């Protein structure tokens, strides 16, 4: 799989994970189906839209590429329809949130590097992409953001994005470094819970 396809696949997977997390949170607040879809899409694409605005990639991919919308809608509808399935997963919001965090930390950093920006921008925008959606979710749901509680959250995104950027500078193989970065971020986040 070449770099571009790897990036797109991971980015859509992160979109799906965050959309599930947003949809579950929205459903738990008693929103109707449209509200669930809207929050799922906002959470899933919020971080990426912030990143794209910061690197001048307008209009943001989350808005132009129908696949992001389709993936977010599928995740939202799955959450509504397959309630029993989602409930059985022990902590679905937290699990999918950790997966999305890792995926977006990596793809956020990748996209900034693809656009030719320096290592600092790549790491910072990896974090922004990863925590942006969750921040938007928590701000909209009017609760204290997860990032502000005593948990490893943005720091896990920092580690994931840093692995990706340092690995790229050291010339590691693209898919190899990506899986390492992804696993490091996810493990750090999930094990801290």
Interhelix angle 174-191/154-169, nearest 10 degrees = 160
- Rounded Cα distance between 74 and 69, Å, is 9
Binding string to its own copies for residues 81 to 120, with x set by CB under 8 A, is what? -------------------------------x----xx-x
Q: Is 8 in the site for its own copies (CB under 8 A)?
A: no
Residue 74 interacts with its own copies (CB under 8 A): yes or no? no
Check residue 38 for interaction with its own copies (CB under 8 A). yes
From candidates 1, 58, 81, 82, binder to its own copies by CB under 8 A: 58
Q: Is residue 148 a contact point for its own copies (CB under 8 A)? A: yes
Q: How far apart are CA 131 and CA 100, in angstroms?
A: 9
Are 69 and 41 in contact by the 8 Å Cβ rule? The answer is yes
Cβ distance to its own copies smaller for residue 106 or 158: 158
Considering only the stretches 29-37, 72-80, 167-175, 181-189, report the one whose residues sit in contact with its own copies under the rule CB under 8 A: 29-37
Considering just the CA atoms, what is the radius of gyration of the chain in Å?
16
Q: CA 13, CA 40: separation in Å to the nearest integer?
A: 14
Q: How many residues does the chain have?
A: 193
Contact 46, 132 (CB under 8 A): yes
**Site residues for its own copies per CB under 8 A:** 26, 29-32, 34-35, 38-39, 49, 53-56, 58-60, 63-64, 66, 69, 112, 117-118, 120-121, 124-125, 135, 139-145, 147-148, 150, 152, 154-155, 158
């Amino acid at each position: 799989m070449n770099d571009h396809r790897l990036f797109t696949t991971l980015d859509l997977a992160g979109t799906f994970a965050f959309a599930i997390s947003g949809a579950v949170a929205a459903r738990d607040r008693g929103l109707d189906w449209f509200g669930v879809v809207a929050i799922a899409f906002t959470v899933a694409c919020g971080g990426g839209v912030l990143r794209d605005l910061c690197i001048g990639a307008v209009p943001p991919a989350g808005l132009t590429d129908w696949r992001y919308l389709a993936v977010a809608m599928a995740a939202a509808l799955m959450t509504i329809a397959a309630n029993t399935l989602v409930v059985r997963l022990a902590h679905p919001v937290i699990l999918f949130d950790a997966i999305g965090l890792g995926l977006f930390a990596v793809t956020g950093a990748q996209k900034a590097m693809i656009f030719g920006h320096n290592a600092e921008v790549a790491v910072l925008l990896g974090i922004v992409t990863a925590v942006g959606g969750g921040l938007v979710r928590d701000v909209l749901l009017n609760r204290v953001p997860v990032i502000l509680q005593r948990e490893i959250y943005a720091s896990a995104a920092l580690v994931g994005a840093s692995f990706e950027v340092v690995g790229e500078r050291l010339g590691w193989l693209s898919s190899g470094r990506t899986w390492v970065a992804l696993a490091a971020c996810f493990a750090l986040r999930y094990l801290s819970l």
